[in-house]
Amino acid sequence: MNYFLIFFISLVAASHAEGEVIASRGEGLTAWNRIYEVVSHPRCSNCHVGPSDRPMWSGPSYGEPRPHGMMIRAGDSRIGAETIPCRTCHVTNETGGQDVPHAAPQVADAWRLAPVEADWFGRSSDFICAQLRDPARNGGRTVEELAEHLGHDVILHWAWAPGGTREPAPYDLESHIADLRLWGAAGQPCASD
Ligand code: HEC
Ligand code: HEC
């Protein structure tokens, strides 16, 4: 794509909202690289698995990455309704759960796997980039709607304060949301475009 075309697309994107920032492709890709560090981190990707149906145990506190112990499967329900419901151990807890190493994480929402389309575990930067900007695969959301979703979703807030000996996701919620908006202002570029 030539630079004139990118500039033109940025103008069209920016015309939706007055005062919206217009960012360059380079700024957008730099923001995306930080977004990828977050979404590919175990605190996010352990739940963002595809059709395998198996939540993952990975990250420094787990040793070698492996599927969730105890033969846990999420099923088509993504919440274990067909076998052992996630809430049997991941109790919905308004106060944020306990800070004990290796205890089942608890949050103030029903603990469950992400939608099968949001398949991030072990995926490349380009794969996740293409998924997140595709409304057919991201829950029909614009980038602004994604940013708002992140602000409201208490499950993923846990990823920055996971308790026990778990390594938190990098950066913080606010800078992750700012990066999404910056990526959006640049027209949601992916490195392979
Ligand atoms: C029998 C109890 C039990 C059930 C049922 C269960 N879990 Fe877990 N889960 C655990 C425990 C315990 C841990 C923490 C293990 C550790 O830290 O060593 C855990 C950890 C996890 C993690 C890793 C979190 C992280 O990044 O550290 C994910 C993801 C997860 N569970 C998803 C699920 C999902 C989805 C379901 C339902 C389909 C489910 N679990 C059902 C006990 C359970
Ligand atoms: C306990 C499992 C779990 C963890 C951990 C988790 N998510 Fe999710 N995620 C979900 C579920 C469930 C949904 C669907 C919620 C909805 O659409 O309302 C979701 C949806 C999303 C979406 C909507 C986009 C899409 O393609 O569907 C984004 C973006 C997202 N999560 C980002 C994150 C980030 C970033 C982290 C880590 C900081 C994270 N998630 C950690 C379960 C999880």
pLDDT by residue (tens digit) across 32-87?
999 999 999 999 999 999 999 999 999 999 999 999 999 999 999 999 999 999 99
What residue owns the CA closest to ligand 2's atom 11?
114
2 lies in a domain?
Answer: no
Question: With a 6 A CB cut-off, is 143 part of the ligand 2 pocket?
Answer: no
Provide the domain count of the chain: 1
CA distance 95 to 108: 7
Which atom of ligand 2 lies nearest, measured to the CA of 39?
A: 35
89 assigned to some structural domain: yes
Task: Establish if 15 belongs to a structural domain.
Answer: no
Taking 90 as the threshold, does the pLDDT of residue 92 lie above it? yes
| Residue 127 lies inside a defined structural domain of this protein | yes
Q: Is residue 17 part of a domain?
A: no
Task: Single out the residue of 175, 187, 173, 190 nearest to residue 44, CA to CA.
Answer: 173
* 172 pLDDT higher than 80: yes
What pTM does this model have? Answer: 0.92
In a domain, 46, yes or no: yes
Per-residue pLDDT tens digits for 120-164: 999 999 999 999 999 999 999 999 999 999 998 989 999 999 999
Q: Residue 79 belongs to what domain range?
A: 22-185
47 CB near ligand 2 (under 6 Å) = yes
